[in-house]
Chain A
Amino acid sequence: MSDAKNIDKTIVPFGDLGAFDSKSYLNMELLRFTTAGSVDDGKSTLIGRLLYDSKSIFEDQYENIRATSERRGETTVNLALFTDGLKAEREQGITIDVAYRYFSTPKRKFIIADTPGHIQYTRNMVTGASTANLAIILVDARQGIVEQTKRHSIIASLLGIPHIAVCVNKMDLVNYDEAVYNSIVAEYREFATRLKTRDIHFIPISALNGDNVVNRSDKMKWYEGVTLMYLLENIHIASDINHIDMRFPVQYVVRPYSDEFHDYRGYAGRIASGVIRKGDKVTVMPSGFSSKVKSIELDGKELEEAFAPLSVTIQLEDDIDISRGDMLVREGNVPKQSQDIEAMVCWMSDKPIQLNGKYFLKHTTKDARAVVKEIKYKLDINTQHRITENPSIGMNDVGRISLRTTAPLIYDAYTKNRDTGSFILIDERTNVTVGACMIID
């Protein structure tokens, strides 16, 4: 039995982020971020800290993990237990799968995709990164930039995460030394010149003691930047979505078959990017027919305009044959259309990608089949080096491939549009998702 008083000391009191005003929640934005790493680099402690200081850990949850820690003979409350959900994970003390965590402050609601950091879990990292606005990259101040730091950063860049926050953690263990921090920042900046991500922030923290996580540290007066929480709450994410190229993949055709709405034919879907207004001239892909937007609505309420990522139903002036998998776009701003696709793939199956192998393919709301025509290279995920000699892309590998599809895809480059530039490959025999692909222009 461990001492209850001792356990309580491992948790600092709740930070105060202010009360929820009864209507202020109507102005809260949603930010999705990903954290990748192993238990050792303090990832779980950092998440525990964010959840705890934002009052998102509840007494019964705390009591639950306190009791578990005690039963397992641990002398302190193991914060990692907050983030490990499955029995196998708790038994082995490792994170196997993506876990989603939620917390909010009066300004924003946050979704954390918490993923394991080892190379054998690259696929989970990719999954977590696919929808994130921001990636937190943890660096142990004592170790500096290591292979794992580079791998996480390369994945974040490859998956097009717009913002990276490099948190130099465990500053308490290097005496909060500015020189240590500066040399890590300099080394990372040098490495980051090869990344696509342009917006990179650096913060010296101690997740264990809470320095610069939610509250400013008085031990690092030399640091003039913001805390991690301030960054998460204030970083500009409205421009993360492409508001220029209107893309509306038709998801479902709404036909009421009722007397009142006898001739109603609405195209339901989620705007992938851009803005659409009533009266806009649109082109239907792949048929190429043109029409005008008669109405944009949701739940019977008409909207003058709508933008990504809203789910709406659109009616057109003309009666055209349109079905799921087609795409409405603005006249004069059309995406590409081809059966020959070049893509980066992250492979997620034990069985390596097969040259000339056939797979089911899912892209926007369209289903097709694809054959692998060429495996161009495998990417060394730690160095970005291209391996072109007999490249084989197996579990957790990233590489470049050429595909031929049974029907033309209507797409944009992934770097321009994460929604119309991504697709998945599915094994035809097992129906399992085996490849995550990003289209190259």
Chain B
Amino acid sequence: MSYTLNHLKTLEAESIFILREVAAQFQNPAILFSGGKDSILVTYLAKKAFYPAAIPFPLVHVDTGHNFQETLDYRDSLVKKLGVKLLIGSVQESIDNSRVAEEKGYNASRIRLQTTTLLDTIERYKFDCCMGGARRDEEKARAKERFFSHRDEFGQWDPKNQRPELWNLFNGRMHVGENFRVFPISNWTELDVWQYLAMEKIEMPSLYFSHKRKVFNRDGTWLAESPFIPMKPNEKAEEQVVRFRTIGDITSTGATFSTASTLDDIIQEVASSRTTERGGRADDKRSESSMEDRKKEGYF
């Protein structure tokens, strides 16, 4: 037997190590679950890390209310299958309670409002650590992120003053009122995620696979027709064969034309793709540093 691991097994071992560190170092940690492939992966890795015990973290869905129905269905069946607790932080509730004001106009989005709801949810359940499926290859501000990301009592990220992270030693010490964001799959790329999901034969939401859907084009992004996005008079929905490379809030997730209908098809497509997955995300296009700005405010 040769004592070598392939890159996916190496990444898996690293991520499981992080998940177990979180369980050991924090009192009340949670997994932020968006229904996208990355948070699904984190959840499956958590199952592996603690089996035969149950996953020792609840899933927290910060719900913009602007969802694909498929995402909610998948979320609910996964929660049932893994026997994990689901907690929901509702952006609609934050709006109803006047914690935040809804953006107006055609490009109104609830992405920025999510931060307040997230911070309120952390406060409400007294989470000292929230894990997310963010990856360093996704976005330039994320490339600078630590596995264990310290946040002050306002939930803010201070990118210029991050704790050094050496070897496999993770410092989760903090003062009362502060908390951590932890990113167990920091070192995975989009391709790694799909290769792993295929290797492990993990069932994924149907939105990731090719299907027919009514979409319309806005500023180069193909958005799904939905009651949550008012269409401009000159915009027209047409039926296309599409899939989603990322899944987030319906108002800012762009579809790509694709016939990829299996995990192997997706791997081929991602491997030969000439654009990044977040290229279709309207929330990142607002400015050059929109992710960095959102993270400083407390976004994950």
Contact = CB atoms under 8 A, between A and B. Distances in A.
12 contacts: A30-B10, A64-B288, A101-B143, A104-B189, A251-B24, A270-B16, A270-B17, A310-B5, A419-B167, A424-B167, A433-B165, A433-B171
A124 B162 CA distance: 11
A422 B167 contact: yes
Interface bin, chain B: 35 or more
Given A22-B268, A238-B3, A436 B164 contact: yes
Nearest to A68: B288
B6 A130 contact: no
A300 B52 contact: yes
Interface in A347-374: 348, 360, 362-363, 365
Interface string A285-324: 0000000000000111000010111110100000000001
Interface stretch (B72-80, B227-235, B274-282): B274-282
B292 A86 contact: yes
Nearest to B195: A25
A90 B289 CA distance: 10
Lowest 4 CB-CB distances: which A-B pairs, in order?
A: A60-B279, A311-B16, A431-B173, A85-B140
A102 B189 contact: yes
B276 A97 contact: no
A108 interface: yes
A87 interface: yes
Interface of A: 19-20, 22, 25-30, 58-61, 64, 68, 84-88, 90, 96-102, 104, 108-109, 111, 123-124, 126-127, 130-131, 238, 241, 243, 251-252, 254-258, 260-261, 264, 266, 268-270, 275, 298-300, 305, 307-311, 313, 324, 348, 360, 362-363, 365, 418-419, 422-424, 426, 431-433, 436
B21 interface: yes
B213 interface: no
A310 B9 contact: yes
Given A68-B288, A424-B166, A256 B141 contact: no
Contacts of A419: 167-168
B218 interface: no
Interface string B42-67: 00000111111110000000000000
Contacts of B162: 97
A58 B1 contact: no
Contacts of A422: 166-167, 169
Nearest to B292: A87
A260 B171 contact: no
Contacts of B142: 85
Contacts of A424: 166-167, 169, 171
A87 B289 contact: yes
A58 B167 contact: no
Contacts of B187: 100, 102, 111
Contacts of A127: 164-166
B286 to A, nearest CB: 13
Interface in B278-297: 279, 288-289, 292
